[in-house]
Structure 1
Amino acid sequence: MASVLNTLASVAPPPFVLSDQYDGLEYKWKFFVFRPALLYLQACLLLALAIYVALALYGRAVNERKAAAFYAAINPLLIQQFSQPTSSSGVISDGPSDFFVFSTGRRVIASLHTILTLLPRQDPLQLIWQYAWSAYDLRYEPYDALTFDFTIDTDAAAVIPDCIWAVVRKSELTSIRNSRWDLTFTRTTDHPSLGSTLSVLSEFADVTDVFFKLVLPHTSTSLPAVITSALPYLRVFSITDQPQERPSVSALATKSKRVILTFDLPKDVDSILPLLEGTFTLVDVLASGKVALRPVTRAKIKKVREDVEKVIKEEAAKEKREEADEDKRNARRKAEEERIAKLSASEQKKVISPLPLIFRAFMSAQLLEREHKRAIKKSQGKLVRKA
């Protein structure tokens, strides 16, 4: 008992000695003494924590207000277009900075995902890091992102020609191909009807010609005019028959056609409503079968798709072969280990010695571990018999 107390005494911190040399503010009550100046560091830490918590709560509230204001502005259009414009709870929160609305129940359009990805205002440190990184990397730009993802109905998709076509803000060109696999199929060109801030991404020039000649019904407005109406908030307007991420072999048969729009979240949502309304009209026009590409262009696009799918399948087959070879090697190694484990210790040493160095070291370690376990069992048996 004494040794335990001595050990505890040796590791215990020294007692705190209250110094008499103190001329600051002091509070005394009986044997209690409180000197605020001695807790200056702790007070600063508590103050910093309180400020951080206050900023986090304020940032979360700001994001929630932005989401609520956006939902109130966009909901009338969703009600006009869909029989089920939103879920029962309206805008759905997926954390303090991510919000989305799911709409369905419209001819031609299977669903619309409206996604609001706001800045992490609830996390001041992450927010500071983002702006600091944007000062270092001029291509990185933190912003409140608004995305409308239209998924075309299966029957309508069969009528719409296969193609990838997009209008992209020029500041996005550097990063867009890294974030979206489908846009790696395209080439970049400029078009005079879009102004100097936007570029066209298209597989072939014929596709661009077809879309830019479109005049949307009811408005008698060309597609380029509708697209530029959403400036300066528009970042990406795209029509695609390929997924945004590189698909696996199993996903090749489940591809869908989509129209995807990405914006900076505008202060006035009404400024982007003409483009959204025009997108609904554009989808109806595409599904009507009135938009067609030249047979030569369709053949080229089909050839590109076949080549890409062939590469994906070949890479998947190669991975399967490598996995099968690895399984065979593991099975052979396991069978060899089991065979050697059945031999006596002297026979095991004879078998292990001519093996390759790495395998020999591994098997020697296995042998030592087994001999150690056998020794423990023998010693336990002797103790039992002695008892």
Structure 2
Amino acid sequence: MASVLTQFLTALTPPPVYVPESYDGVEFRWRIFTFRPALFQMEAYLLSGLLVYVGFFFFGRFTNSRNANKWVDAHQRILESQFSSPLKFVQDGYSDFFNFSTGRRNVATLHTIFTLRPRHDLVQWIWQTGRQFVDLQYRPKDDLQLDFKLIDGVLPYDFVWGVVSKEELLFVKESRWDLTFTKTTENQSLPNNYLVMSEFADVTESILKASPLVKILADPKITPYFRSLTITDQPRERPAQPLLPNEHEKHVILSLNVPSPSQASVTNDLVSAIFQFVDSLTKVTLRPETKIKLKKVREEVDADIKREAERDKKEEEAEALEAKKAAKRRAEEERIAKLPAAEQQKILEREKRRSIRKQQVKVRK
């Protein structure tokens, strides 16, 4: 028993530290303890790396939280003047922040969504930074979206429309299925760094006539921060099934680059004007032929989605049936394998005769 205990304690005992016979480096002594830093270079590197990673985490977390909170604080007075319940600010992780507002004429809810760069994660930050040198079209940014869900009846027409910065056009097209309904054109009423995405010219004409949008976008202060402004009756991602009538929602979505904390109030005028823009949508009117075309487009899209859903369902059913048949075959093969050799031979001969008869029937046909 003693020998077993001795072996166990020996296994737990760390190997002795290698101390060279001659050591001329820095040395610290205190009573019976001696510390020679040169013998712990690897540990020093590992500790330094850990401290850098931890420091990066806390600095990144603080930076993201400050950016989001500064913007909300700078716009708090506007939200309080527009909503009866203006602020419900929550954080999800260290790069996603949300504010929920409700209680306003023409607006059911406003979701303010911050999607910031992962400053708290050194690995992701390095990956994003490095990818920019490989993919010249990849530009990670701090994104801010103000998603206004309209009350039913505010905008009686179904259409998709938007104004987008030319720099964001490619990103918007790749990330928004609803904007595939539109065609992209320039408009003389807007500054030349913006493009209009509209289903029909009649929609653009009516919106620009009824709203203060032209004046809003003419302000050069907002140009570095404006990404897109869209009106949509469709989901952002292609649905798997056609939407039911009660599932259709109309949204006005303003997408911005998040200003630095020192410039957080630079978008105040823009955000204030967007509320006027939302209210102006009640004045939008469309020609009868445009309304007919818009309805036809949605019927065709719903029919395509329905056909694809039915085709996918048939493919899934066929795959499930094939998997069931394969499982049945495996079970039968396992059962036969357990039988005596004579029984297995009889079954093989019976299957062979059955296969021959099937071939004969095919030849006669």
Length-normalised TM-score, structure 2: 0.83
Residue 275 of structure 2 is aligned to residue 277 of structure 1: no
Label 1:133 to 1:17 Cα distance change in 2 as closer, same or farther (>3 A): closer
1:240 paired residue number:
232
Residue 283 of structure 2 is aligned to residue 293 of structure 1: no
Label 1:107 to 1:339 Cα distance change in 2 as closer, same or farther (>3 A): same
Asked if structure 1 preserves the Cα contact closer than 8 Å seen for 2:114 and 2:143, the reply is: yes
Mapping of residues 1-387 of structure 1, within 5 Å = 17-28=18-29, 33-87=34-88, 91-157=89-155, 159=156, 161-214=157-210, 216=211, 222-229=212-219, 230-249=222-241, 251-253=243-245, 254-267=247-260, 268-286=263-281, 288=282, 290-339=283-332, 342-343=335-336, 344-346=339-341, 347-348=343-344, 351=347
CA drift at 1:261 = 0.5
Separation of aligned partners in 1, 2:248 and 2:349:
56
Separation of aligned partners in 2, 1:255 and 1:43:
60
Per-residue deviation, residues 306-353 of structure 1 (Å, max 9, x unmatched): 111111111111111112222222333344444555552433466479
SS in 2 for 1:192: coil
SS in 2 for 1:100: strand
Asked if structure 2 preserves the Cα contact closer than 8 Å seen for 1:226 and 1:278, the reply is: yes
Letter aligned with residue 225 of structure 1: K
Q: Which runs of 5+ in 1 are unaligned?
A: 217-221, 357-387
CA drift at 1:83 = 1.1
Identity fraction in percent: 42
Per-residue deviation, residues 11-40 of structure 1 (Å, max 9, x unmatched): x99765432032212345677543210111
Separation of aligned partners in 1, 2:173 and 2:238:
12
CA drift at 1:150 = 0.4
1:367 paired residue number:
none
Separation of aligned partners in 2, 1:349 and 1:154:
74
How much is the aligned-residue C-alpha RMSD, in angstroms?
3.0
Separation of aligned partners in 2, 1:106 and 1:231:
28
1:383 paired residue number:
none
CA drift at 1:127 = 2.0
Letter aligned with residue 100 of structure 1: F
Letter aligned with residue 112 of structure 2: T
Asked if structure 2 preserves the Cα contact closer than 8 Å seen for 1:341 and 1:348, the reply is: no
Per-residue deviation, residues 204-229 of structure 1 (Å, max 9, x unmatched): 22211112222x4xxxxx32122333
Stretch moving more, 180-189 or 47-56: 47-56
Separation of aligned partners in 2, 1:263 and 1:71:
14
CA drift at 1:201 = 0.9
Residues matched between the structures, number: 341
Q: Which runs of 5+ in 2 are unaligned?
A: 353-365
CA drift at 1:137 = 2.1
Length-normalised TM-score, structure 1: 0.79
CA drift at 1:242 = 0.8
